[in-house]
């Protein structure tokens, strides 16, 4: 995608995407040229699309108007929504008239970024195996300032988020732990990132008993991955950590219905996407991307309820439920991140059904052990137009998972599940580590269908400055 022009004089052949506010008039020159007052026809209400055919009056076929409502009320979140709506109407190359959407609080640069990201997001379709993916229709931006850099920012976010959706939507037989590793290798090559791959042998030597316990029931090997992005000179390293269960059957505590459990690797896919976007934007930061990946299945060697597991941290865990596998792989990944030297960690995981019950696919559950770190992230969430809600960590939740045979159990039941899981994870976070845990069980996909790429934008924005 590119900038089509620096001026309003446009005589190209591409359709025009024309954002219009209720309290503004359509450019008089357009009306003069068309020969009738389309102000009376175009629906300027928020999120309404009106297509006007130029019938030979212009060198292009049509003007597609997208209503933005009142200019005094518009928000960036609404702009995203409207831009996604109009993007779905774009079937042939078009030029987006960015300046028409500019208001006092949202400048041409932001408008351009929002449009390009929304357009790419809207163009994504779940890939049907064996069928070609439709090529994306070319869209250009008309602006009276140089917005090429903004186009590239929008592209970085849009393509990065779609990359996560592609990985996540791929069925579990074609997105195994090995396939996650392949994706990481490809990413490392493309962006010249350092990649450490820990296989079962290495994990055994290290004593990463958490991920290995979950892996016992799978015929495929497990992996812990560390991608290293270092463009921050001597700054300290942050880490983003993702749960990569490529399929969660529940194990011996088998799920009655495991529909949608191919999405149990969305945390890992998001980590890959975040690294890709940071590298695309050449962000001046140092970040580790850590992934723990295995299937959670059943065979004759699978881990069982009441097994006692020694994790990488040396803390021991009594398995209450083999279906609480996410925290078993994550605890080792969190320990590993801290061993690498990260003292600011964000993890994201499709961790608990309880979080989905509480917040549906609307809000992501947010947990943190540090108020300043949380407050910063909460502001970033707002600036990124994503929704997260803080839920409690508390030692009282730990009392519930006391164990006679180990330091604690991995779970206890359904009540308070999201906070119990998070409080469990906190046991693997050192005092001087700032930590945010995002439970994306409800928000990573829509009820077992269609990955969303949730939280990628916010985490990138949190890390990049």
Task: List, by residue number, the catalytic residues.
Answer: 255, 327
Cα–Cα–Cα angle for 169, 241, 215, nearest 5°?
70
Neighbour-count burial for 217-256, b at 16+ CB within 10 Å, e otherwise: bbeebbbbbbbbbeeeeeeebbbbbbbbbbbbbbbbbeee
The whole-angstrom separation of Cα 448 and Cα 318 is 30
**Residue 170 to residue 184: CA distance in whole angstroms:** 16
What are the counts of helices (DSSP H) followed by strands (DSSP E) for the chain? Answer: 14, 19
Q: Report if residue 318 touches ligand BES, rule: CB under 6 A.
A: no
Q: Which is nearer to Mn ion, 14 or 411 (CB)?
A: 411
- Stretch touching ligand BES by CB under 6 A, among 114-122, 133-141, 192-200, 319-327: 319-327
At 388 the three-state DSSP class reads strand
x/- mask, ligand BES, residues 329-348, rule CB under 6 A, reads --------------------
- Residue 401 within binding range of ligand BES, rule CB under 6 A: no
Closest to ligand BES by CB, 264 vs 407, is: 264
Contacts (CB under 6 A) with ligand BES, residues 240-259:
248
Instruction: Establish if 326 lies at the interface with Zn ion (CB under 5 A).
Output: yes
Among 90, 241, 283, 324, binds ligand BES (CB under 6 A): 324
Contact 70, 78 (CB under 8 A): no
Choose among 271, 292, 176, 188: nearest CA to 230. Answer: 188
Q: Is 323 in the site for ligand BES (CB under 6 A)?
A: yes
Does position 317 interact with ligand BES (CB under 6 A)? The reply is no
Cα separation, 42 vs 21, whole angstroms: 10
- Shortest distance (Å) from residue 297 CB to Zn ion: 12
> Choosing among Zn ion, ligand BES, Mn ion, none, which partner's interface includes residue 354 (Cβ < 5 to 8 Å by kind)?
ligand BES
Other C-beta atoms closer than 10 Å to the C-beta of 6 total 12
What tokens were used for 55? 């019938």
CB-CB contact of 89 with 51 (8 Å):
yes
Strand order in the sheet with 316-318: 308-310, 316-318, 408-409
Contact between 439 and ligand BES per CB under 6 A: no
CB of 261 to Zn ion, least distance (A): 7
> Among 179, 325, 332, 386, which residue sits at the site for ligand BES (rule: CB under 6 A)?
325
Residue 294: contacted member of Mn ion, ligand BES, Zn ion, none (CB under 5 to 8 Å, by partner type): none
Among 354, 366, 429, 454, binds ligand BES (CB under 6 A): 354
Determine if 439 is a binding residue for Zn ion (CB under 5 A): no
450 exposure class (CB count in 10 Å sphere: 0-12, 13-18, 19+): middle
Q: Which residue is nearest to Zn ion (CB)?
A: 248
Residue 264 lies near ligand BES (rule: CB under 6 A): yes
Considering the rule CB under 6 A, would residue 411 count as an interface residue with ligand BES? yes
Question: Would you say 97 or 325 has its CB closer to Mn ion?
Answer: 325
Q: Taking a C-beta distance cutoff of 8 angstroms, is the pair 340, 288 a contact?
A: yes
Among the listed ranges 124-132, 352-360, 396-404, 449-457, the one in contact with ligand BES (CB under 6 A) is 352-360
Segment near ligand BES (CB under 6 A); pick from 31-39, 135-143, 311-319, 351-359: 351-359
Query: Judged by CB under 5 A, which stretch of 100-108, 160-168, 324-332, 422-430 contacts Mn ion?
Result: 324-332
- 323 lies in the site for Mn ion, by CB under 5 A: yes
Burial of 113 (0-12, 13-18, 19+ CB in 10 A): buried
For residues 258 to 277, the per-residue mask of contacts with Zn ion, x marking binding by CB under 5 A and - elsewhere, is: ------x-------------
Q: Cα-flanking dihedrals φ and ψ of residue 211, to 5°?
A: -65, -35
What does the block give as tokens for 345?
């960690």
Residue ranges that bind ligand BES, judged by CB under 6 A? 248, 264, 321, 323-326, 350-354, 356, 411, 417, 441
Residue ranges that bind Zn ion, judged by CB under 5 A? 245, 248, 264, 326
Residue ranges that bind Mn ion, judged by CB under 5 A? 248, 323, 325
């Amino acid at each position: 995608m590119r900038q089509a022009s620096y001026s309003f004089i446009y005589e190209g052949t591409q359709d025009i995407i024309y954002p219009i506010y209720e309290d503004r008039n359509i450019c008089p020159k357009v009306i003069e040229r068309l020969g009738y007052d389309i102000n009376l026809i175009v629906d300027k209400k928020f999120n309404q699309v009106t297509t006007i055919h130029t019938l030979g009056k212009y060198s292009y076929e049509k003007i597609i108007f997208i209503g933005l409502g009142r200019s005094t009320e518009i928000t960036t979140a609404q702009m995203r929504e409207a831009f996604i709506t109009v993007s779905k109407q774009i079937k042939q190359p078009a030029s987006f008239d960015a300046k028409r959407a500019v208001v006092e609080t949202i400048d041409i640069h932001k408008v351009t970024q929002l449009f390009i990201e929304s357009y790419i997001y809207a163009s994504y379709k779940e890939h049907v195996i064996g069928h070609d993916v439709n090529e994306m229709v070319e869209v250009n931006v008309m602006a009276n300032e140089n917005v090429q850099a903004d186009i590239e920012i929008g592209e970085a976010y849009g393509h990065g988020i779609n990359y996560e959706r592609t990985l996540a939507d791929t069925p579990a037989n074609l997105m195994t732990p090995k396939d996650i590793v392949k994706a990481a290798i490809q990413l490392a090559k493309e962006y010249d990132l350092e990649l450490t791959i820990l296989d079962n042998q290495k994990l055994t030597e290290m004593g990463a008993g958490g991920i290995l316990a979950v892996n016992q029931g799978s015929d495929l090997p497990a992996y812990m991955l560390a991608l290293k992005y270092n463009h921050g000179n001597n700054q300290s390293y942050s880490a983003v950590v993702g749960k990569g269960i490529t399929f969660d059957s529940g194990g011996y505590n088998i799920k009655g219905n495991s529909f949608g459990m191919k999405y149990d690797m969305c945390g890992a896919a998001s980590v890959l996407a975040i690294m890709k976007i940071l590298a695309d934007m050449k962000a001046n930061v140092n970040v580790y991307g850590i992934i723990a990946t295995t299937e959670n299945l059943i065979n004759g060697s699978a881990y069982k309820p009441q097994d006692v597991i020694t994790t990488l941290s040396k803390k021991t865990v009594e398995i209450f439920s083999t279906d609480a596998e996410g925290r078993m792989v994550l605890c080792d990944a969190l320990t590993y991140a801290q061993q690498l030297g990260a003292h600011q960690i964000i993890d994201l995981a499709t961790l608990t059904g309880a979080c989905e019950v509480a917040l549906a696919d609307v809000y992501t559950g947010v947990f943190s052990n540090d108020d300043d770190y949380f407050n910063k992230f909460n502001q970033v969430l707002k600036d990124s137009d994503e929704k997260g809600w803080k839920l409690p960590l508390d030692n009282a939740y730990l009392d519930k998972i006391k164990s006679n045979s180990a330091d604690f159990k991995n779970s206890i039941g359904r009540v308070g599940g999201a906070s119990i899981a998070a409080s469990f994870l906190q046991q693997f976070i050192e005092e001087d580590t700032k930590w945010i845990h995002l439970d994306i069980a409800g928000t990573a996909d829509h009820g077992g269908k269609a990955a969303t790429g949730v939280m990628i934008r916010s985490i990138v924005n949190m890390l990049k400055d």
